[in-house]
Amino acid sequence: MNARRRVKVCAAWSALALLGCEGPLSTLTPAGQGAERIARMFWWMAGGTIVIWLAVVGLAVYAVFVAPKRHAGKAARRLIVVGGVAVPVVVLTGLLIYGLASLPPLMAPAPDGSLTVLVTGEQWWWRVRYRVPGHDPVELANEIVVPVGEPVEFHLDSHDVIHSFWIPSLGGKVDMIPGHRTRLTLEPTEIGVFRGVCAEYCGTSHAWMGFSVMVLAQEHFAHWLARQAEPARSPSEPLAIRGQESFIVNGCGACHTIRGTAAQGVVGPDLTHVGSRNTLAAGLLDNSPNAFWRWIAYTNELKPGVYMPAFGMLPSDDLQALAAYLESLQ
């Protein structure tokens, strides 16, 4: 490969690598105050390391190509002291002070009266609860909705293993530790749909533990929360009505709650408004009747190790009816 071609290939790969930093999981396109602070820190750190790298590589190039002869003792010492000691010490000390000063605001609690969202890491999904004044808490799964422009305090815990709660576009990550509640305050600055992930290996399906994060205008958020607080609507389509019967007969209510019905199980995700969610199975599938069908019939193939047993033995009519019922839970 000639030199020009090598430069082109290098540039193409660098462009591809940078493209990988875009999108709903990016830390470099921040949409929250914490993420903006972290991104700023990243760029300062990257700048500092480039300065040190240039100083050291510059010295090496000078020593090998520009002045390859033996240097006089004094000149050599000056090069080592300036390039090898002074520049790194000054740059790294500056970055250390800047980095330490940036940390406290990232860990500050939200002001009293802020919206609080309780999130519990489960294997392998996220239980999400909102406290609603004058109402039972509203529970949903794998979906977090928050208003733009105000701090939200997340209370994080886990039943079994350590998970790590991370919404890269909004802020830093915090571990969810069994028996110990941790907190994280995030303040979204942009409306949009982002993604969250588990950032700590927690078992077989750790990689299939995502969630969606919707940042809404404040009045839309209030409307969304009021809708979530309502009980499930009764199905009206014959297929969905049959699906509801199938849901009860097959004992799905032992693990799942559908508020407003006899299904009051607390082991699995609350399904009261599951048809309205962005994704199914913690970000694994799009939300569609076909996806419900696949999930119920092939649970373990799709997410190895999951607690929910597969119901692939049900007749396909029943699977279709169940899917229609769940999709109707808007």
Q: What is the contact surface with ligand CUA in residues (CB under 6 A)?
A: 121, 124, 163, 198, 200-202, 206, 209
**Residue 121 or 243: which CB sits closer to ligand CUA?**
121
Distance spanning both ends of the chain, measured CA to CA: 58
| Closest CB to ligand CUA among residues 165, 221 | 165
Q: How far is the CB of 204 from ligand CUA (least distance, A)?
A: 10
Q: Which residue has the tokens 């940390």?
A: 103
Classify strands 143-147 and 210-216 as parallel, antiparallel or unpaired: parallel
CA atoms within 13 A on the CB side of 197: 13
Q: Two tokens at 154?
A: 């997340």
Q: How far is the CB of 180 from ligand CUA (least distance, A)?
A: 16
| Residue 117 backbone class (left: φ over 0; alpha: ψ -120 to 50; beta: rest) | beta
177 vs 314 by CB, closer to ligand CUA:
177
- Nearer to ligand CUA (CB atom), residue 302 or residue 319: 302
Q: How far is the CB of 121 from ligand CUA (least distance, A)?
A: 5
* Contacts (Cβ under 8 Å, ≥6 apart) of 245: 321
Q: Are 290 and 284 in contact (CB under 8 A)?
A: no
Q: Which is nearer to ligand CUA, 246 or 299 (CB)?
A: 299
What tokens were used for 61?
């190039």
Q: How far is the CB of 283 from ligand CUA (least distance, A)?
A: 12
Token duo for residue 168 = 């890269």
Judged by beta carbon, residue 42 or residue 201, the one nearer ligand CUA is 201
Q: Is the peptide bond before 13 cis (omega within 30 degrees of 0)?
A: no
